[in-house]
Structure 1
């Protein structure tokens, strides 16, 4: 079993509004499926994660990666591990705590996987 304690998986994205980001992440429940789905889960071929450990937001404008990560929980413990990404053209971030994304899919047109980082709570 993969040890996921104190791991955070991060994605960077561009969404026109906070509502569009929320809609993208929103879990859908179906009688035909055992686990909830979302556009995000489908895009990244994720089986399941606990949405209680998800944090996401959409900034008002394009920001550097470090500016996007700064307000999220525990970022001070891993933000220094993020490489030079000053050319980023993103305005949104999705963080899933106690989850290690291991699939190979790196992104879509508007959302890219940044990486998995250790964090201190």
Structure 2
């Protein structure tokens, strides 16, 4: 396990800092990931670390930005230390989908596939159980 796990998970309230999935429903700890990857000159310190579910971490990989489909504009992905989640995303509790409210939110939802069928089905269950948002 990552030596920073306890501190990072506590700071994140044991939720994925990208999609807000609750860690409590998984049978393993979430991953500590580098917001700016080491391969892109990111640092290995707490300010550059985030708690991420496996789905978000795999899809994010070494990305720090993505292209908006409508405008072909490059936009950086959501940065959990610099951005407030509620400013960039909104949850539709009826559908279970996350909507990007800003270009940063839109590109993050798209590239991390936050509304994949599996993610939406799980989120709907978490909502019914009172675990999300």
TM-score (norm 1): 0.30
> Which structure is richer in relative contact order (CA contacts within 8 A, separation 6 or more)?
1
